[in-house]
Amino acid sequence: MDKLLIRGGRQLNGTVPISGAKNAALPELCATLLTPEPVTLLNVPRLQDVATMRKLLAHMGVQTQSHGERGGMSFSAAGAITPQAPYELVKTMRASVLVLGPLLARFGHARVSLPGGCAIGSRPVDQHIKGLTAMGAEIAVEHGYMVATLAAGRTRLKGARIATDMVTVTGTENFLMAAALAEGETILENAAQEPEIPDLAEMLIRMGARIEGHGSSRIRIQGVEQLHGCTHQVVADRIETGTFLCAVAAAGGDVVAQHGRIEHLEAVVEKLRDAGVAVTKVADGIRVQSAGAGQLKAQSFRTTEYPGFPTDMQAQFMALNAVAQGSALVTETIFENRFMHVNELVRLGANIQIDGNVAMVEGVPALSGASVMATDLRASASLVIAALVAEGETQVDRIYHLDRGYDQMEIKLRALGADIERVKS
């Protein structure tokens, strides 16, 4: 397995281009199943999960092609489509559940393996099943697969009012795609509001869907009989943006995160400013200026659904707190097993204690390089940030986690002045 070698102590300066959001690209790749006409996506990030999803679509019979420039990819689901997502292709990717809605909506049946992904807590699919059942689907879980068909006598899904028991991003996305081709009106209550949701909705609207209220907790969809092709640019990744903001805050320097949208990161930006970091909106991006770890003030925060502090930024900000002045409480409310990075940060010299879903972080004057192991996607990013400020050399192992969510992170950091290299297995 590849690993990263990082020698800390260098400030970061320059401009870093932010790639398209993985959490927008994955449902948008699935949305190409909704039409037989060609769909082109721009700014698609070069990530393992994207490659896996593309392989899954190709397995089903979707024709895919990369254009190289601007992260462009084209898709055509015009031929014979096999509406099955086998375990072998989706076992590493929880987003695979997103093919269920489009397959049901267009083809009336699907067989989709229960998804895999990071080991950071339970991710039940019961909300997906509940919502799609309300729309006229019959879904059984058999031998690790969701087997879905339309109810007897139906040729299309039907509109419904869907109120999920919890806010679910992938559930909202699945219902959006399914409702676009359903008969009648669908109303989504308690819908997720993350920026990736309205980005998917805007793509569907370009394809001919009739959607209102996206970006709010109540979305209304009027189903249409068919959708057409379109060209759509994937929104910039707010978590990649936030990760680079935290990296510059901890290491010090002056960087513009090109394409980053400050309005998608308000909770994180507020905490960075309180910590003593200058964060400003500039033309086509965000500028972050920091004197480095020694000048930061530790900040307590609590993760919650968007627009609150994102759970996907918890580990990165904890790495920043580890070298800030003072102490802070970090409360994780989304996933019950998302402090696995703490033991690795402690190996670098961090002072962190865990009590249930709360981590108590006491800032230390310096971290020291060591060998550490990534345990999940965002944990790996926190270790990179800590390594950038640690004295000496840090080896970060199992970075296949990092590759699932960051497009060439070490190349981007090296261009900003970091001493970082990938060691091939």
> Annotated catalytic sites, by residue?
118
- At CA 371, angle to CA 309 and CA 290, rounded to 5? 45
Q: 3-state class of 392 per DSSP?
A: coil
Separation CA 22–CA 47 (nearest Å): 8
Q: Long-range pairs for 307-312 at CB < 8 Å and ≥24 separation?
A: 307/193, 307/266, 307/267, 308/267, 309/267, 309/268, 309/271, 310/238, 310/239, 310/242, 310/267, 310/268, 311/335, 311/338, 312/239, 312/378
Instruction: Give yes or no for a cis peptide into 307 (omega within 30° of 0).
Output: yes
Tokens standing for 252?
């010090």
C-alpha dist (Å) from residue 10 to 21, 42, 334, 392, 412: 28, 33, 34, 11, 14
Dmax over Cα atoms in the chain, in whole Å? 69
Q: Tokens 């190709």 identify what position?
A: 58
Answer yes or no: are the C-beta atoms of 111 and 98 closer than 8 Å.
Answer: no
Closest Cα to residue 166, out of 197, 191, 196, 129? 191
Answer yes or no: are the C-beta atoms of 413 and 4 closer than 8 Å.
Answer: no
Sorted by sequence, the CB contacts under 8 Å of residue 300 that are 6+ apart come out as 328, 329, 330, 331
Q: CB 48: neighbour CB atoms within 10 A? A: 16
Separation CA 55–CA 59 (nearest Å): 6
C-alpha dist (Å) from residue 78 to 38, 105, 147, 152: 8, 15, 23, 26
